[in-house]
Every structure is written in structure tokens, then in C-alpha cells.
Structure 1
């Protein structure tokens, strides 16, 4: 039983670290609390409730989580503080001992945030975890994480984020995500279609499909990711869909071909490579080799020559000798991709990667990251330059009054509309533009409006 009166008039502050999936979930928390009568604390206002949705993908992420918790506790000394997310699942004991934290919710429990808050504020909360002084911990073991917390939310931007899957069955040697989020699971296509129709009624024009390993969609329900894509493509009120990330071994030729002629799925792919060295891929226990990855890139280019292709690359992991890194660099240099998302390897307690003897020092990691980031910049610049002078559609996002507006083309080129041309009514509108040269910081192409889309 939820005591709704306990929520009325309260102010909440939110802080999110990590992936798009976390941001989507936090936005859903905010919407749920807003429906219960909770408003978002303004700048400088003290909150009654603080929610920190954490990440634990690297040691740096763990450190940022702790910093965020301390900062919110310090700035909101009278608030009820809730910590959830991956760090809360993996290090619940440590989080519960941070002064000021009142409630720790693991990955299985965050779906019931409203009920836990109601119980806490009404004094009826029962403890199914450990009670460390005044902090209550609710967390089950990884094998017992079964719940799926739905999320389809906009957050602070134009695009909506639809959570289609959670958890992962791929136990890569460097990764803690399966331990933090549990095994792969998903809702039904019917339930996701209903969420998208509701988002369309709210004015959604573009939706990003998010999850931990979304190509694995269907294990829970006996459906497939291809089935989901086709069902969503039929919802004509949504003009654009983007697929956040797909493992290369789950990116089927059928899906690539379908996206090339679909009504609303954009020519935009994000594919995790991690390493271009087959030696390292085997050490990581990845489910593909460099040849398969290259074949997928070739297939995308065959069907969609203008597609934006982003690639995740990890540098300095255990076992990445200088020869292995040079293999990765050469592989990526010769690959027709648009952008590299480069991140240094971070030791994660409990992972089997710790058994690999060859260790890369921090200085070498930084040098390798720098080389790959320079390569990425060169590739992205060349990709953008191909489209200078082209006419295309852009979905613009709201900007502060007097500031430039930004948006993205179908193939994810960032576009800037000058403050003089920007209009409030352009927000969430598809506009026909002509692409010009780079803006002052070379992060976008300038645009001139031709007409409404």
C-alpha cells in the first residue's frame, strides 16, 4: 500500500552517472515521483529527496559515484538519500556506510522505488538486507535479479529513450555488468509498442532503443529483436528510431538490410569492437573476431554508404602487448567507420581478467588513447566534410533563448543553427536544411533552414 500523501510537496534532486540506460531510468524515476506530487528542486534549493543512480564500469566511475553521494548529502543535509544502480548493486555494503545515505536499492529493487519510499516515510519499511545503523539495504544476489523496470522517457532533451532489454549473459573477462544488472531479460513487444504509442501521444518524434545487450532481445518472451524493429517501424507517429548499441555477432545481415529501406530506422549504428587484435579478443572472451567485425562494417556500407558508424574501443587491457595495440590501430585505420569511443581499461575486482599476467601501465594507456582519439577525429572530420553543401532533415532540440540550436541529421551529423535563426517553435521539429561549413569549435556543421519537414 502506497501512502501518496507522504510525497506531496516534496522536492527531489537527481544525479546520474554512466550509460544512456541509467539516464533513461532516472528520467522515469522523476516522472513517477512527479505523478506522486514531487517536484524537482531548483538551482540552490535544498531537496527533501536525493536519488543517485550509479555506474560501476570503471574505477573512475566508482570514485565519481562516491563524490556525487558526498556532494548531494553535503548540499542537502536534511534530505532522504537513495542510492541505486550498478555501484549500489556491486558495493552495497560500502555505499550503506557513507554518512547520510538512507536507502540502498540493488538492480532488482529499483523498480519498486515508490513503494520503498512510501514504506520509509510512513515508518513501515521492512529490512530484507542489512541494516547499517540508519541505512537500509535492499539487494538480492545476481542470480535472483529477475525484475524488469520499464522506461520510456525524454529527460532534458528531445529524443526519448526506450529501454527494451536489461542484463547480460556475456561474461566478458573485464566486465562487471552481468553481476550488476543480472542475466538478460526483456518485456514483450506488445508492452513496448504501447509505451511507444504513449510517447508519440506526448509528442515524441525520435526514440533511441536502449539496453545492456539489446541484440539479445527476446530470450524472455520467445520473440526476436528483428520482430521488435518491425513492430516499432509500423508506428507512423514516430519519425525516427536509433539503435543505441549492438554486439557485432548479434547484428544480423537481415537487420542491416531492413534498416536500409525501413521507414524510420536511421542509418546510424554503434558497435562495440573493444579490440582489433584477435589475441586480445580471445583474452576478453568476446564472441567474434576481427574478420567478422570487418564483414559487418562492409555490409553496412554496402547497404548504407552514408551511415554513421560509431565503435567502442578499449585500450590498455591486460594482455594488450605493443604488438596487439598496433594490430588494433592498423585495423581501425583501415576500417570505414565514423567515430571511435575510446576508453582505458580499468581493473574491476572479481573479474577473471585479473588472472591475465601482462599489465599495461597508465602512461602507456594514455599514449594509446591519444593516438586512437586523433584517428577518430580524422575519421569524423572526413565524414562530416562529405556532407557540406547537402540538403537534409534535422530534428532540432530546444536551446536557451539567444543561443544557437542544435540537432542531428538522420545519419547523426550534429548541426548548429545560429542564434539569429533559432526559434522556439523549431524545438522537436524536423526541418529541411542546407549544411554549411564547421562551426567555431568544429563540433557541428552550420545550417541554413530551407523549410519544415
Structure 2
């Protein structure tokens, strides 16, 4: 009888890629994949530790799995277990710990556990250099868009961030392996590819390669229709970089540039390696070479010692850039980071008030950005059907990653169409005629 495995992911797109790769390994080895519900023989939770809330969710899902079947094997994988080594070693809900860079060994670890009938809680020391983990995909949970993990680790050590400690130093996937994976995915019908990583801008620094060269290689692959880039650092946005990618027809004009703060003094305390002006220059370059690109960002409010003047500098900068989307996060203390030990921690009510101000500003800017497309023709890659206000539509995204609905009986799954934007079917979703 096949062993039944249930999987659950927490956290980022890199985590999602890794869980899908583990699922593919299990399927190929003869395991049966079942929903994350009572009845599984093995539960695998790919955990996250980016915030205290992520830690709590990781613990909750691990304990939920053990309650659903006390006799099941519970596998805790990923960042939370890497960060909380001592806690997971004694957690009775966890049978197997699969730290980062050990996920490729999932099948071996499961077989060893079955033989020895004991806890397996080995972790790799990611403070030391390690090789890029060999995980790969030939299909994904999405039917039209494939996320490609191309690098792991981070060398930045931002003062608020635990990720370099749980993911280790930068290591890049070799370009030929990425190209081979893209070709396999193209053969399986995928048209849009998202290059992602823990610190995507660092791709190639460890192997005499570069993100730009990787983009060019993926662009040359027949069958690839769209290329998106994951989160970028401002300093990679040079004239050469932007001019080159703007000449590539498959590049989507949708760029996520991490800001975190619009104040130089705050950026310095965060150990962010750019100034507010350098960030503004990068946005200006993107707008110089792309017509109406969708610029998105992350901002942290309430970082230690953030004064009203520093917060106002961030607010004014966000207002001046005019983003498509702004993701606002209240600063969360992370044990083991430098910011956790800083004086001048900001009260929660102040963080909440500042967060509300920027969220409201972000909503206004998103609405303004979207209204630009009313009455315009756009290219849409349709993905799936969904019900909106009691009616079924085909849902897709433009090259700028605007969400669009079409009312048609035609099967549009994985089809690229030109549609004219006519208005909104609901907040944040266009209606179009094709």
C-alpha cells in the first residue's frame, strides 16, 4: 500500500518552489499525495521564520499535523527549524527535522527513519560554505506560470533580518541547469517564468555569472513568452541593466524594488546598502526605458529609533515614486539580529498608526495606477476560472501583473489574448472585452 503524504507550505515563493520539488520527488518515488487533512501517514510542513507570526504559524501547523494523526511521521522543514534548533530538538510533535539544504535528501531521510524508528533531527551548519541544493521541477501547482528558484542564501545581513543565518551564504544554481528546467517546463505547457531567489540580485556572484546573463539565456528559449523578475535590490538597476532588459520582448514591465525606508539615517541603521537617492535613480531609469512600468516595493515602519521626521521622509518618498503596490510591514523584533538589541524600540501603537497612513497612501496609488489602463488594450495571460459576485469569469494577468476578468464561454486556460479594459468587476480586478 502506498504511503500517503500531505504537504503544507508557509512563507515565500522560494519555499513554495522547494515544497513542489519535494512533492515531485515523492510522487516519482511512489508516494501518494493527499490533502493536508486527517488520514495521511506523513505530514511535511515547509516552515518560515521571517517574523514572530511566521514562527507561531509554523509551530501551529506542526502541532496540527500531529493532532490529525498521532501515529503519522511529522517532518518539519525549512527556515523555522533552522532558526529554532533547540526548540525543535525537544518538540514531541516533530519526528524529522529537514533543515535548509537538506530538502534534497528527503527520500533518503524518510527511508532511514523507517528503518531506525527514531527521531532524525540533523541540521546542516549554514555558517559554513555549502553547495547549491539540487532541487528541480518539471511541473508546478500553477498551470501557466512557473517560479524558478535560481539562487539561495544572502550575504547582506540587514540588521533586522534573520534570513542569512537560516539560509546561509549566497549560492547560485548553474545556468545550464536552469535552462534545462525551463525547457522541460515549456514542454509541459508553461509560458511565463518568474526568476526568484532569497537574494536574486546576488545571482552569479559566487560562480562568475550574473543575473543579466541568466535573463538573456532564458529569453533565448523557444516557447518562453514572458519573464518576470523577483525582488531586486536598487543597486542592480544600472543604465546597462535596464537598457538591456528593455530590449527583450519577453520581459514583463513589473519590477519589485525593496525600499524598506525612504530615510538615509534609517537605511544606515538597517544596513541597507543604498541611499534614498540611489533608489529614486533606479525608479527613474525603469521609467526611462519602460512605458508605465508597474513598480512595487516593501516598507518597514517603526524600525528602532525611527523618528516622526524619518517616517515622514519615507511617506514623502513613497508619495513621490507613485508605486503600483506598496507592501507595508510593522517592524518585528527577531532574536539573533542586531536590530533586536538596538535602543529606541518603537511602541506598537505608533507602528500601527504609521502603518495605516502608508497603507492608505498605497491604496490611493494603486487605484491611480490601475485607472491609467481604462479603455486601453492590454495583453493578458489567462490562467483559470473564478467566481466573482456570483458569476464565473476567466481570470488572467497583464504583463504589468494587473488582474483581469473576461466574461466568455471560450476556454481561455493558458491562452494569451489582447483585451480592452472596460472598467472594474470588483476592487483590484478589471473587466475586459476580448
TM-score (norm 2): 0.95
Q: Distance in 2 between matches of 1:14 and 1:156?
A: 16
Partner in structure 2 of residue 395 of structure 1 = 381
Check if 1:447 corresponds to 2:419. Answer: no
1:145 CA displacement: 5.3
User: Could you say which residue in structure 1 is the equivalent of 2:339?
Assistant: 353
Is the contact between residue 399 and residue 406 of structure 1 (CA under 8 Å) also seen in structure 2? yes
CA distance in 2, matches of 1:213, 1:47: 35
Paired residues of 2:6 and 2:36 also in contact (CA < 8 A) = no
Tell me, which stretches of 5 or more residues in structure 1 are unaligned? Answer: 1-7, 126-133
Which among 283, 289, 294 is matched to residue 303 of structure 1? 289
Q: Contact 2:38–2:68 (CA<8 Å) still a contact in 1?
A: no
Residue 314 of structure 1 aligns with which residue?
300
Q: Distance in 2 between matches of 1:48 and 1:265?
A: 43
Residue 147 (structure 1) aligned to one of 125, 131, 136: 131
Q: Which runs of 4+ in 1 moved over 6 A?
A: none
Name structure 2 gaps, 5 residues minimum.
none
Structure 2 distance, partners of 1:370, 1:27, is 35
Are 2:64 and 1:71 aligned?
Answer: yes
* In the alignment, structure 1 residue 9 sits paired with structure 2 residue 2: yes
1:137-286 matches, cutoff 5 A: 137-144=121-128, 146-149=130-133, 150-152=135-137, 153-286=139-272
Report whether the alignment pairs 1:28 with 2:21. Answer: yes
Deviation readout 1:250-293 (Å, 9 max, x if unpaired): 23322211222202111110010000010100001110000000
Which residue pairs with 1:379 in the alignment?
A: 365
> Deviation of residue 65 (structure 1)?
0.7
Aligned-pair CA distance for 1:178: 0.5
Which of 403, 406, 424 is equivalent to 1:438?
A: 424
Partner of 2:75: helix, strand, or coil?
A: strand
Query: Secondary structure of the residue that 1:266 maps to in structure 2?
Result: coil
Number of residue equivalences: 429
Contact 1:396 1:430 in 2 (8 A): yes
Q: Under a length normalisation based on structure 1, what TM-score does the superposition of the two structures give?
A: 0.91
How far apart in 1 are the matches of 2:111 and 2:131? 20
Q: Does 1:370 align with 2:356?
A: yes
The equivalent residue for 1:60 is 53
2:109 is aligned, of 100, 112, 116, to 116
Query: SS state of the match for residue 412, structure 1?
Result: coil
TM-fit CA distance, 1:207: 0.8
